[in-house]
Amino acid sequence: AQSVTQLGSHVSVSEGALVLLRCNYSSSVPPYLFWYVQYPNQGLQLLLKYTSAATLVKGINGFEAEFKKSETSFHLTKPSAHMSDAAEYFCAVTGGTGAGSYQLTFGKGTKLSVIP
């Protein structure tokens, strides 16, 4: 079974400041990890994915995340926040390949606000 905990339901940063959104996971098998972004009244858009290759993963819109097995973490960062980054962000885990690989388990989400 897999689970995800996102620390902080709401994060506010100033425009141009560092964005750090925290995600910790639990998985009984080597996990595949994802970050998705959701804008109001829209579906989820994939930002980046970790699938057991490089531990530092670069995604779209300048976001990146680092897989740390020892800390069971997959935090999302962006060096400089832009107003257009304001949205809700979801961390998700699957069981990699094979059994359980089809089912995404999501965290509760972190709403990012960017202050001008």
Chain contacts with other proteins (rule: CB under 8 A): 4, 9, 34, 36, 41-46, 49, 90, 92, 97, 101-109
Residue whose C-alpha is closest to residue 50's, from 92, 108, 83, 106: 92
Residue with smaller CB distance to other proteins, 26 or 45: 45
Residues in the chain: 116
- In the three-class reduction of DSSP (H, G, I as helix; E, B as strand; rest coil), residue 84 is classed as helix
Phi-psi region of 72 (alpha: psi -120 to 50; beta: other; left: phi over 0): left
Residue with smaller CB distance to other proteins, 55 or 103: 103
Name the minimum Å distance from CB 92 to other proteins. Answer: 7
Asked if 92 and 47 touch (Cβ cutoff 8 Å), the reply is: no
Residue with smaller CB distance to other proteins, 12 or 80: 12
Name the minimum Å distance from CB 99 to other proteins. Answer: 10
